[in-house]
Amino acid sequence: MQHLSTLLDWIRYAASRLATADIAYGHGTDTPLDEAAALVLGLLNLPYDLSPTYFPAHLTADEITALRNALDRRVNERIPVPYLPHRTLYGGYEFYVDERVLIPRSPIAELIERGLSPWWQGDAPETILDLCCGSGCIGILAQIHQPQADIILADIDPDALAVAAKNLARYQLSDSIPLLQGDGLAALDAAIADLYGTEAAAARAQGATYRDVTGGIDWILCNPPYVEEGEMDDIAAEYRHEPRHALTSGADGLNFTRRLLHTAGDYLSERGLLVLEVGMSGQNLEDAYPDAAFDWAELTRGGAGVCVISADELLAWRDAGIV
């Protein structure tokens, strides 16, 4: 190992070791070489798109020690790479992550980049909620692509919101994007006075819907917990480093989703959209609501289980007893 002295040496060595290790991928990379590059560049605080011109650069003794230790932890403790340097890319932008939040990988990024086309038509969205925001990556990406919109981040977990706050600061959005703590959409109700004033809060308390008193949210982007509880017994060790409560949601993975489908129509604007990710629990969702016509997004960059539902559909389904 004393002959491993350059950046390229360590990417090559790490790739070879990872290729023979009993590990799982899925947190931003899917090959040993990509994983090795993410680990080495991440730990050395170098850009992930670093020019190969720099690959012959020699590393310091401290850098080599840090890389050796991190590689050992990746292989022996099965820690996902982004948790080691606390860096990851999502939608082409860098975010801070640690074990308080899921590592960003939601295919909702692709829909944000498309402006939710073809479902969203006409004027640009005015309000966007990142529900179950975790690191805040979905909401921040939405702000980057929809700079005119008012963004709200909400999560039940104060530790996750602390990570989101770091990412808001990174993009100089701390003063413009509120962080709300609460269980699902109840986070909006708890903050309605701060966001819209006491008259709005009073009207809401008297039974008016959130849409009635605020105009509603144009886009609710939600990557909720959706893994079946039983699946955690067989899931790869890497995923057990992520917060369990952000992954699982009951026996069929749909506990949170059921509540959301029943209430979201009251929070969306008249032409609002709910973008809901349920991943591998998509078939469970179809089975639970056989009379709901879910519109599943066609994703070109991988991932599955993202549907888009309009406010009108949600209200009609509820009125018909479907959800």
Q: Domain 7-85 - what CATH class?
A: mainly alpha
User: Cβ distance 149 to 128 under 8 Å?
Assistant: yes
pLDDT at residue 199 is higher than 70: yes
| pLDDT-above-90 percentage for the chain | 98
Mean pLDDT rounded to a whole number for the chain: 97
User: Cβ distance 6 to 56 under 8 Å?
Assistant: yes
The tokens of 135 are what? Answer: 């690191």
pLDDT at 302: 86
Q: Indicate if 100-320 has the same CATH topology as 7-85.
A: no
> What whole-number distance in Å separates Cα of residue 239 and Cα of residue 287?
26
| Residue owning tokens 């401290």 | 62
> What whole-number distance in Å separates Cα of residue 18 and Cα of residue 35?
8
Q: Where are the domains of the chain?
A: 7-85, 100-320
Full-prediction pTM beyond 0.75? yes
| pLDDT-above-70 percentage for the chain | 99
pLDDT at residue 2 is higher than 70: no
Q: Does domain 100-320 have CATH number 3.20.20.70?
A: no
